[in-house]
Amino acid sequence: MAVIRPFRGFTYNPHLAQDFSKLVAPPYDVISEEQQDQYYQAHPNNVIRLILGKKKTGDTDWDNRYTRAADYLRRWESDGILVRASEPAIYLSSLTYRPQDNDRERTRWGFIALTRIEDEDSGVILPHERTFSAHKDDRLRLLRACNTQFSQIFGLYEDERNEVLEACKAYADEEPVVSFELGDGTKHSFWILNNPALFRRVSKAMLDKTIFIADGHHRYETSRNFRNIMRARYGKRNPNRSYEFVMMYLTNMNDEGLTILPSHRLIKWVPEFDVQHFLEKAKTWFDIGELPLSGNGYYEMAQQVEKQLAERGRSASVLGFYPNGSSCCYVMTLKEEKRRIMGDDLHPALQELDVLVLSRFLLQKGLGFSRDQLDDEENFHYQSSLTQALASVHKGNYQMAFFLNPTKIEQVKEVARNFLVMPRKSTYFYPKVITGLVFNKIDPHETIESF
């Protein structure tokens, strides 16, 4: 039973005529050091100072990027740059974007509300990817310093008739409270909905739904850890205390604007690698064809590869392999009878995933990597754009790349419903939910009202 509540959002003051395009940022975990600098320079009140502050030489337990984020938060609230709503609300957002170059525009709708945090075995909020302790420790330190959730967990639910989002749209004013366009061409609009009748309607409609975590696994587990800390300090008898909830961006998994991109694998270095020896070994499990790369640029070549992968991937597990110095991409189609030898430890739902076909056969058996080595962020990188991945290998920045088709939404549901997890970076729900539209300030003495 998913428990959804409106909340008193903490937002940039819309009455200050601020340029929101210079205040927002993507989630912390996709921001490079170079991008971090750019967001710092974009505006002195950019959300980057809250979600991913800079480290300084001489940082201590009393002066570090977490304590500095808390200081910014206090000062911005004191100066009226950030304001907290006087009444609970549900927040509606639309995001218009192009999934890839030359694709038609799509619009993804979602609403932001609080969702009661569930224990792992509840079956109400389901993850689908692995998490790592270092990331959770980092987010927990920030949450404890600021008592504020800055970024929404991206959640999906099933709503065949789209009743929840249509209800939100019906209660929205014609003009959004905030509207802006970012440099990447994405267009964002944001409405604040204050109607108790809508709150009751949404809450009732969501009661029987399962929520699948699309993005923000580390942040969700962090919110549960923080809840447990607060329970130990303030008690757990009241299920409506503010720390029992987490802020989520929720969208219908049948929404036409929902896009899943692949996460292609880029590898810096494989010791003693020989292309021909690797291909001969791979033939044990795959039928291998050569796709000559021709065209006027990386984009045209990438289009050829994507077309081949998409066509062959309708009925089989298919992967692309491109080593540095090659004039072709190798298209590898799994021999179906080999799927059963992927490993006795794998549930049938996991055996269907291309990302695990790649991992078990090519990365582990073919190239000799251990499972721990596959988590080496120095050697393994991820790229959703096949054009950029291909260009990076061609230029010699990487030794090789493996290309994949996107994971299907049905596969995400199947994995989550069986309480299983995929390898990291198995899905890329695009675009990421922007950070900076609304925050959730947690007062441990506050009760979240039901309607």
Dump pLDDT digits (tens) for 34-82: 999 999 999 999 999 999 999 999 999 999 999 999 999 999 999 999 9
- The tokens for 340 are 């059963």
Residues 6 or more apart whose CB falls under 8 angstroms from that of 146 comprise 50, 66, 69, 70, 73
CA distances from 43 to 33, 37, 71, 327, 393 (A): 17, 11, 17, 45, 35
pLDDT of 344: 84
Range name among 16-20, 22-26, 377-381, 400-404 with the lowest pLDDT average: 16-20
The tens digit of pLDDT for each residue in 267-291 reads 999 999 999 999 999 999 999 999 9
Please state the separation of Cα 156 from the chain's center in Å: 12
What is the pLDDT confidence band of residue 316, given thresholds at 50, 70 and 90? very high
pLDDT of 15: 85
Nearest residue to 227 via CA among 449, 442, 66 = 442
pLDDT of 18: 79
- The tokens for 411 are 């596969």
State percent of the chain over pLDDT 90.
82
CB atoms within 10 A of CB 74: 12
CA distances from 433 to 24, 96, 110 (A): 11, 12, 10
Is pLDDT above 80 for 100?
A: no
> Model pTM?
0.90
State percent of the chain over pLDDT 70.
99
Mean pLDDT calculated for residue range 296-300: 88
User: Cα torsion at 180, 182, 184, 188 (round to 10°)?
Assistant: -40
Distance CA 99, CA 374 (A): 28
The tens digit of pLDDT for each residue in 211-235 reads 999 999 999 999 999 999 999 999 8
Distance CA 149, CA 218 (A): 13
The tens digit of pLDDT for each residue in 124-182 reads 999 888 777 778 899 999 999 999 999 999 999 999 999 999 999 999 999 999 999 99
pLDDT of 96: 96
